[in-house]
Every structure is written in C-alpha cells, then in structure tokens.
Amino acid sequence: MTTTDIRVDLGAPLRGDDLVRASAPLAVLVGPDVRDRLTRGREHLRTVLADDDRPVYGAKTGFGALVGFAGRTDEADQCDNTLAHLGAGQGPDLPADITRATLLIRTRSLAQGLSGVSPHVVDGLAAMFATTFVPAVPRYGSVGASGDLIPLAYATQALRGRGHAYVDGERMPADRALRRAGLTPLTLDGRDALALVNGTSVTTAATALALRGVRASHRAVQDLTCLLVDVLGADPGFLHPSLITAYGHPGAATVAERMRAALSGTTPGGTRALQEPYSIRCSPQLLGAAEDALRYVDGVVDADLAGVSDNPLFFPDEDLVAHGGNFFGQPAAFAADVLAMVTASLGNLAERQLDLLVDPHRNNGLPPMLAAGPGRQHGLQGVQLATTAFVAEIRRAAVPASTQSLPTNLHNQDVVPLGTQAALRAYDLAELLRLLCGSLALGLRQAVHVGGRRPTAPRCAELLDVLADAIPPVDPDRPLDADVRLAAELVTGVRG
C-alpha cells in the first residue's frame, strides 16, 4: 500500500474529482491553517464545557429525544454512549467508493474548525486515506436528518477498531484491518464521536458520485445521438442555432452547440422524412433540460462540499455555541431526486433510440434487430429486451424520496429529508443509465456492420472506430453482456 501522488488539501474546498480519487490511496494534507482552526475550536469547546451554566448538546447531555437527560460524565464513556446505540444498521455494506468519499467529506467538514474536535481526529482520518482501509458500513438505517447517524457510527467504530473493515478489498474485523493497514485506533471523547456522526456525509458522497456518473452518461447520450443521426443520414437541421436560440433555455443552447460540433461535416442522406421522431428531433430540448437540471445539482453538491454539516457548531471569535439543524440533508435530498428524474428521462431516450435503430420500418431498411442473418441470428434482440428491463427498473425507483418524510425519534425528528435513500438510489440508477448508453453504442456499432452507412462527420466516425476497434460485430450471435459493459466504459469514460 503506497500513497499515490494525488493530494487533497483540507484547507481548500473539496471537488467532485477529489471524491472519485478517494477510492484509492491518496495524501490528505492537514496544513498549518487547518491545525490552527482545529486548535482554536478545541480550546473554545474546553472553555464552554468548563462553564456549568452553558449547555452543550451531546457533550453534557443525552442524544436526540433524550436531550433532557444528562449524559455520562466520563468523556470516553460519553463516546461509547454516542456510538453504541447507533449500531442498528442492516443490509449489505456500502460500496467502498461511497464510504471513502463519505469520510473525506466528513474530514473536510471537521477540518473547518467549527465542530470542536480534537486535532488528532483529523490527523487520524487523514492517515487512513493513505491506505486501502475501508470501514464496513451497512446500507440501511439513515433518514439523513440528524446526520447519517447510523452509517457514520459504523464508520467511526471501525476507525476505533470495532466492527469490521476492508483492507485491500478483504473484509475482516476492524482491529485486524487497522493493524494490517498500519493505522492506530482513534481515541475519541463524546464531542469527537458526535461530530463524526452528526453530518450528512453519506448523502452528499452518494449524490456527488451519482452526479459524476449521470453527467458522464449525459455527455455520452449526446455523442451517441449524433452518431445515430449520422448513421441514419438524418438532417441535423433540428440543431440550427437560430431555432435553439429561439427556444430560450441555456442548457439546450449548450447541448446543441456541442452536438453541432460533433456533427460538423455530416452530409444528410436525403432518404429520411422531413421531420424525425422526437427521440432525434427533440433531443437537444430533452438533453438541454437535463443539462439545466444537472447544473442545479452541481450547485447543491458544491455547497455541501464547502459547508459544515454538524450540530452544535462552535464559533470562538463570537464565543458562540450555536445549536441548530446544519445536519439536515434536504438540499442533497432534492438534488438526488432530480438526478433520478434526469436519469429516467435520459435512459428512456437511449432506449427509444435503440428501439428505432433495430426497427426495419424506421432504420432505413436495416435488418430487424440488426441481425446479420435474421432468424438464423438475432443480433441485438437480447440487448434490446434487457434495455426495456433497465428502463422499467429506473422508472420504478424514480419516485421522489424527499417527499416521503416519516416522523421518528419521539417526534424530535418530526420531519426528515430521507436524502440518504434518494442519494443511494441515484447512485444505483446512474449505473443502469451507463449500461443503457453501452447498449445503444453497441447497437450503433452493429448497425454499420449490417448495412448502415459509415458516418460522414469526422468526430462521429472517430467514435464509431473506437467502438469497432474494441468490439467485434455480432456475427454470429454471442452473449453480449460483457460487450455492453465495455461499450459503456468506452463512451462514458466510467468503469463499472
């Protein structure tokens, strides 16, 4: 296990790319400014705790609905008091990339010095990122309201040597994993423990990673739509700048400009109807609306990555302990639900375009299912069937989670965002969308093999060549599951 050359400075806001890089070992830097903020915040906490007249939630009290009762007086015991009762998660472990991204977001939030944590906590988290250590965190148990309490408690316990964790992809007891990774178990007091769990870092991490996947597929659908237009010899007039400018939506203008560049040099075949089906003709409007929606999600994720998600917060310069709701994951809940809706629309578009491509009544007379010898061979028939199932699964799961608030915790948490559910669902759906892109790409590669014209736009021809060089034609039939995955990786740049 060696630290890569990739570095993340906790003194600067995180970026989405940092979260992707966190899935592998990387250097996380705790600079002098960060250390100064942490020290000042910790000293302020100590001053406040020494004052019997100043209440501090979680350091002097019980948790949640039990805030009216005193907590444990011993600081180590108060840490256990925080974490033990949250060991109630269930289900499979979260993917490693989500868990590592979660902890990077949590580390950055704590490093801003407003949580009153011990500096050695941030040092310990930073040291973990130089290894392949990944806490084993169950998927189910958070409502994303008082932070992702239960999943973050499992992550924190693993960093203390309790529960389970992975090293080099192998699951084992956490204490053994720490030893194998060369890490020292974290020692925490009650405030440290609460600060580690009282934030929506799982929700933000899953939303950010889902956004990356959906954005990659969004670009891929634009490219594949252009390739479809060129292979069919369709007229690209539906992208005319005057037409799109009159539409008035900035996302459509951005998408259409990119698509016009991809189709530069194409020559219409002259055999298509005056107006193409909506899956071609209205693609800049649909893809443009998706672009506008994704820009909204970009803003939410950027704000989450720059902000502090915790309660209470400590402001030394104001001698203020502020109790409030900065652990409430409503922004990411809305954003993740928007991602799910975008995914459903993009997936439906890709599936409809593949359906058009395999239909001899709409594909310029290419053989049905793009089979090289219809009847003796079946071409894309199995792939097209699978895409129908993918779209059905996306639609089934795209019901907004953020509208499903359910009171809990003796009505202390009487409204909850359910952002964790929204975010993890968006993460899952992003993979199905990626596979739909791969399915359409495979169909376009096959269409040229069975008689479709070679693209006349240089950039479209280049994309076809990338696919054709990596994936042989379907002739004769063969299982195509691996080909779909490879095509998805080629057109999105994201490995499944």
Output the domain CATH number for residue 192. Answer: 1.10.275.10
Q: For position 1, what pLDDT does the model report?
A: 42
* Residues 21, 74 within the same domain: yes
* Residues 221, 152 within the same domain: no
For the stretch 145-195, pLDDT in tens is 888 999 999 999 999 999 999 999 999 999 999 999 999 999 999 999 999
* H or E segment and range at residue 458: helix 458-470
Query: Within a domain: residue 342?
Result: yes
Query: Are 125 and 111 in contact, with CB atoms under 8 Å apart?
Result: no
Query: Within a domain: residue 2?
Result: no
Q: For position 221, what pLDDT does the model report?
A: 98
Query: Are 327 and 310 in contact, with CB atoms under 8 Å apart?
Result: yes
Q: Measure the CA–CA gap between 422 and 338, rounded to whole angstroms.
A: 9
Q: ∠432-259-219 over CA atoms, to 5°?
A: 25
- Token pair belonging to 429: 């759906």
Query: Within a domain: residue 436?
Result: yes
Query: Are 419 and 338 in contact, with CB atoms under 8 Å apart?
Result: no
For the stretch 229-251, pLDDT in tens is 999 999 999 999 999 999 999 99
Q: Measure the CA–CA gap between 174 and 35, rounded to whole angstroms.
A: 28
Strands (E), 157-246: 164-167, 170-173
Candidate list 57, 154, 166, 427, residue with the active-site label: 57
* Residues 157, 48 within the same domain: yes
Q: For position 261, what pLDDT does the model report?
A: 98
Structural domain count of the chain: 2
348 closest CA partner among 289, 404, 306, 301: 289
Query: Are 233 and 265 in contact, with CB atoms under 8 Å apart?
Result: no
Would you call 57 a catalytic residue per the annotation? yes
Domain boundary among 199, 216, 240: 199
Query: Within a domain: residue 108?
Result: yes
Residue 336 half-sphere exposure, CB side, CA atoms within 13 Å? Answer: 35
What lies within 8 Å, CB to CB, of 54 at 6+ separation is 48, 321
Output the domain CATH number for residue 302. Answer: 1.20.200.10
89 closest CA partner among 28, 156, 32, 27: 156
Q: What is the largest CA-CA distance in the chain?
A: 84
* Residues 129, 227 within the same domain: no
* Residues 235, 96 within the same domain: no
Query: Within a domain: residue 40?
Result: yes
Query: Within a domain: residue 1?
Result: no
Query: Within a domain: residue 433?
Result: yes
- pLDDT per 10-residue tile (average), the chain, 496 residues: 67 93 94 95 93 83 74 77 90 98 97 95 97 97 89 97 98 98 95 94 97 98 98 97 98 98 96 94 98 98 95 94 90 97 98 98 96 96 98 94 80 80 97 98 98 97 98 97 98 90
What residue type is assigned to position 221 of the chain?
A: V
* Residues 191, 233 within the same domain: no
Domain boundary among 199, 234, 249: 199
* Residues 229, 80 within the same domain: no
* Residues 468, 377 within the same domain: yes
* Residues 40, 113 within the same domain: yes
Q: For position 148, what pLDDT does the model report?
A: 94
Domain boundary among 199, 226, 251: 199
Q: For position 65, what pLDDT does the model report?
A: 65
Residue 250 half-sphere exposure, CB side, CA atoms within 13 Å? Answer: 5
Q: For position 88, what pLDDT does the model report?
A: 93
Domain region containing 41: 7-199
* Residues 177, 322 within the same domain: no
* Residues 149, 175 within the same domain: yes
Query: Within a domain: residue 135?
Result: yes
* Residues 195, 219 within the same domain: no
